[in-house]
Structure 1
Amino acid sequence: MKTVLVINASPNPSDSYSRMLTERFVGLWKRHNPEDTFVFRELGNTDIPHVNQHWVKAAFTPEQARGAEDQQAIAFSDVLVKELQGADVIVLGSPMHNLSVPSTLKAYIDQVIRMGITTSLAPGTPGSPYIGLLKNKKAYLLLVQGGYGFGKGEMYEHMDFQQPYLKAILQMLGVTDVTTVKMNHTTMSKELRLDSYTDAQTQGGCRS
């Protein structure tokens, strides 16, 4: 039996294609894995605290030396980290905002990057100076883009800071088994939008 962590980053509570993709994913997963457990983390409509000086001090203070203020400063981070540590499968649904990810998702990422807990430093190692500490996890990125042309070899590939960033963050955390499902054209004509949604349903973990 596995635990599946489903993260939604869209600020749109309805008519969100990234939420449609996560809902479809959950439905299909439940059909094939009825004994598995789901944990849902809402980011798009939640005030995710930004990292501040109190957080930094607490995070870099040894646990046994943290006072009450330190513990309070990273209490929410501890909750998010525990969710990640307990998940066997991570499902992230996110739109592209200004070529990258929504600000709430970035704030979430800042909360879960914890030195010595979710990642560690190994300067001079090929590819990345980070060694992730979250092992044996599978991730699905369900990504939505309002326009088009951000795919490999396409005209705006160099402007895609959504998928490469998220994959780099997952690798930093130790999650290297990543499947990406992408949908485009969500701000364009209905025909293009529906064609892209249909295509997304045939990709990766969204297949029936």
Structure 2
Amino acid sequence: MRTILVINASPNHNNSYSRLLTEHFVDRCKQHNPNDIFIFRELGNVNIPHVNQHWVKAAFTPENLRSCEDKQALSFSDELVKELQDADVIVIASPMHNLSVPSTLKAYIDQVIRMGVTTSLVPGTLGSPYVGRLANKKAYLFLVRGGYGFGSGEIYEHMDFQEPYLKAVLQMLGVTDITSVTMNYTTMQEALRQDSYSQAQAQIDALTPPEK
């Protein structure tokens, strides 16, 4: 039995291919292991608070010295962090917005990167000064782009600040087992869009084989 945290970042409920990919993934997981527990975190259509001065003060105050105001400032962050800590599998579904991720997903990331809680700063560590505290978790990225050419070796690879950013953030949290599924052409010709969608579904099918 696994606890699977599904994070949807698209502001669209209808006509959202990233949501269709998470739905397909969830359906396949339920077929393969009906005992899986799913937690859904909606980001696309809710107000995710931005980190402010009160949050920063509270986050860098030792837990035993936090005031009631400090605890209130971190209450939503604590909720999000616990979801991540409890999850065995983390699924992030995100469209590409202006070469990167939607602002709500960025705000979520700012809420869950907590020094001494989800990551630690260890200067001089090979590869990264951050040592994550959420190890032994599997992550899936379901990434959707309106155009094309952002993949490895493709013409616009240098403009992709979506996949590299999310992978770096997950690694900062200690999650290194990351699999990406991408879909392109969502704002282009129907034939191209549907072909890319079918390919993404097939990749998910390969990740979640049917129950034998």
C-alpha distance 206-174 of structure 1, shift in aligned 2 (>3 A): same
Structure 2: gaps of 5 or more residues:
none
For residue 202 of structure 2, give the secondary structure of its aligned residue in structure 1.
Answer: coil
Counterpart of 1:70?
A: 70
1:51 equivalent in structure 2: 51
In 2, the alpha carbon distance for the partners of 1:201 and 1:170 equals 23
- 1:36 deviation in Å? 1.1
Matching of residues 109-128 of structure 1 within 5 Å: 109-128=109-128
Once the two structures are superposed, the pairs formed by residues 86-101 of structure 1 within 5 Å of their partners are 86-101=86-101
- Superimposed CA distance per residue, residues 101-151 of structure 1 (whole angstroms, 9 cap, x where no aligned partner): 000000000000000000001111111100000011000000000000000
Matched residues in 1 for 2:153 and 2:136: separation? 31
What is the match of residue 16 of structure 2?
16
Contact 2:32 2:209 (8 Å CA) reproduced: no
Equivalents in 2 of 1:206, 1:147: separation in Å?
Answer: 27
Count the aligned residue pairs: 208
Query: Which residue in the other structure is 1:83 paired with?
Result: 83
Distance across 2 between alignment mates of 1:140 and 1:206:
12
* Identical residues among aligned pairs (%): 74
When the two structures are superposed, what TM-score results if normalisation uses the length of structure 2? 0.96
Residue 172 of structure 1 pairs with residue 161 of structure 2? no
Q: Which runs of 5+ in 1 are unaligned?
A: none
CA distance in 2, matches of 1:192, 1:35: 36
Aligned partners of 1:183 and 1:206: how far apart in 2? 18
Consecutive aligned runs of 4 or more in structure 1 exceeding 2 Å deviation: 204-208
The residue number in structure 1 matching 2:142 is 142
> CA offset at residue 203 of structure 1?
1.4
Given the alignment of the two structures, is residue 61 of structure 1 paired with residue 61 of structure 2, yes or no? Answer: yes
Cα deviation digits, residues 76-103 of structure 1 (max 9, x gap): 0000000000000001110000000000
